[in-house]
Structure 1
Amino acid sequence: MVDDPQPEQELPPLDTLAARLEYLFDTIRPTSEELSAADEAGRRYTNKEIADKINLTAAETGVTISAAYIGELRRGVASDPRTSHVRALAAAFGVNSGYFVDDAAARRTQEQITLLSELRRMDVKQVALRQVLADNGLSAGDTQLIEQMVARLRAVAEGVSPSTTGAVRDDRR
C-alpha cells in the first residue's frame, strides 16, 4: 500500500464566534456577479461588502449592520450579537445560521466549504471518484492508486503514451 502523500487538511478550530466569522472571510469569496471589472477575482470580502449585502435586504428582514460592527465581531471585541445579526451574517455568506452557535453545524459547514474549495481547484470528476471510493471503504492510499490507474487508462485511450508526460501520440492505431 502507498502512503498518502497529501494528509487530510487539518481544519482550524472554530471555538469562538470571531474565529467562525474569520473563517468565512478567509474561505468564501465574492461571486463573479458581485465583482466589478476592476476587482481581483478570488479576493476576500471586506466588512463593508458584507454589511452592504445585509443592508440591501433590510426592507425584507428588518436587519441592518455596520461594517465597523462586523469588524468588532471579527476581532472578538463584540461577541454577543443579536440573533437577527447572526442570521443575517449567515445569509450573507450562504451558510446555515447554526454554523455560528452549534459546534457540529460549524464542523459540517467547514467540511462542506473545504469540499467546495477542492471541487473548484480540481477536476470535479476526480473529486467525485474520490468520494465514491471513500464511501466504499477504500483507504486514501488505495484511492490514490486507483486515480493513477484511471489517469493511465485515460492516456492510453486518448493514444498518449502513459510513460511520457503528455504530447506524444501512439500512432499504432
Structure 2
Amino acid sequence: MADDQHVEQELPPLDTLAARLEYLFEKIRPTPEELGDSNEPGRKYTNKEIADKINAMASETGVSISAAYIGELRRGVASDPRTSHVRALADVFGVNSGYFVDDVAARRIQEQLTLLSELRRMDVKQVALRQVLADNGLSATDTQLIEQMVARLRAVAAGTGLGDADAAPDGRS
C-alpha cells in the first residue's frame, strides 16, 4: 500500500502542446481574488477566463485570443500556435514560455508545480508554527526538531488509530 502513495508522485508525460496546456489547467487554479464571491474554491480556470486574462492585456501586448481557440489547443485540434499566443499563455499561467517548447523546461516546471501542490496540501499550519517558534527565539535547528517531533507524534497516533482529539494523556480514550 505504501507504493500506492508514490504512484501519485509520478509525473505524467508532457509530449504535446495540448498535454502541456492541459497540465497547467489541471494544476493552476484561480486565486481567491479572481473567484470573487463565487462559491467554487479550487475549481479549474475556464477557457474563457484565460482568454479574458490574455485579452485584458491586449492593449499592452498586442495579443488577443478566443476561448474557442484555447479549447482547440487544449484538445490538440490546433497544435501550432503563434509565438505570441504561446508567450501570452505562459504569462497568464505564470510559467516560462520555454515550458511549451522545451522538454527540460517542461519537466522542471512540472516538478515545481508538483512541489507547490504538495506544499499547499500540507497546509499553512507549518508556516504558522515556524513563525510562532521564531517569534519565541527558537533557532531554525530547534524549529526543525519540533516539526520532526510533531510528525512523529502524528505517525504514532495514526499507527494506534488514535487521532489528536481522541488521545488522552493517560492512554485511555
Settle same-fold status: TM greater than 0.5. yes
Instruction: Tell me the residue number matched to 1:44.
Output: 44
Structure 2 counterpart of 1:43, which letter? R
Counterpart residue number, 2:25:
25
Aligned to 2:68: 68
Pair 5,13 (structure 1): closer, same or farther in 2 beyond 3 Å:
closer
Q: SS of the residue aligned with 1:104? A: helix
The structural deviation recorded for 1:7 is: 1.7
Equivalent in the alignment of 1:81: 81
Give the drift of 1:4: 6.2
CA distance in structure 1 between the aligned counterparts of 2:112 and 2:36, rounded to whole angstroms: 27
Secondary structure, aligned partner of 1:87 = helix
Indicate the residue corresponding to 1:166 in structure 2: 164
Amino acid at match of 2:46: T
Q: Who is 1:53 aligned against?
A: 53
- In 2, Cα distance between equivalents of 1:153 and 1:70: 48
Letter in 2 for 1:66: S
> What SS does structure 2 have at the residue aligned with 1:118?
helix
**Aligned mates of 2:17, 2:72 — CA distance in 1:** 11
| Long gaps (5+) in structure 2 | 128-146
Give the corresponding residue for 1:143: none
Matched, 1:94 2:73: no
CA distance in 2, matches of 1:110, 1:7: 16
Instruction: Tell me the percent identity.
Output: 77
Aligned residues: 145
State the distance in 1 between where 2:102 and 2:88 align.
16
Number of the residue aligned with 1:7: 6
For 1:66 and 1:37, how far apart are their aligned partners in 2?
A: 25
Offset, 1:169: 5.5
State the shift of 1:154 in Å: 8.7
Aligned residue number for residue 106 of structure 1: 106
Distance in structure 1 (CA, Å) of the matches to 2:40 and 2:19 = 25
Flag the structure with more relative contact order, 1 or 2, with Cα contacts below 8 A and sequence separation at least 6. 1
> 1:40-98: per-residue Cα shift (whole Å, max 9, x none)?
00000000000000001111111000001101111111111110000000011111100
Contiguous gaps of at least 5 residues in structure 1: 127-146
Instruction: Tell me what 1:129 maps to.
Output: none
| Larger helix share, 1 or 2 | 2
